[in-house]
Amino acid sequence: MRFSAIAFDLDGTLYPNYRLNIRIIPFLLRHWPLVTAFGRARGRIRREQEEALKQKAAGNRVPKSASFYEHQAELAAAMLNRPPAEIKAAIEDKIYRGWAEYFRKIRLFPHVRECLEAFRSSGLPLALLSDFPPDIKLRNLGIMDFFSLTLCSEELGALKPDPLPFTELARRLNLPPEQILYVGNSLSYDAEGALRAGMQAALVGSAILKKPSLTRDGLFCFKSYRQLQSYVLR
Cα–Cα distance list, 34 to 90, 128, 190, 197 (Å): 8, 27, 25, 32
Average pLDDT over the chain reads: 93
Contact 141, 106 (CB under 8 A): yes
pLDDT of residue 214: 57
Res 63 pLDDT > 90: no
Taking the domains of the chain in order of start, what are their residue ranges? 5-15+109-233, 19-102
Res 215 pLDDT > 70: no
Pairing state between β 126-130 and 219-222: unpaired
pLDDT digits (tens, 9 = 90+) for 121-130: 999 999 999 9
CATH superfamily of 5-15+109-233: HAD superfamily/HAD-like (3.40.50.1000)
What is the value of pTM for the model shown?
0.93
Res 223 pLDDT > 80: yes
**In sequence order, what are the residues at sequence separation of 6 or more whose Cβ sits closer than 8 angstroms to the Cβ of residue 125?**
4, 5, 6, 148, 149, 173
Banded pLDDT at 33 (limits 50, 70, 90): very high
pLDDT digits (tens, 9 = 90+) for 151-176: 999 999 999 999 999 999 999 999 99
Residue at 69: amino acid letter: Y
Banded pLDDT at 1 (limits 50, 70, 90): low
pLDDT of residue 51: 94
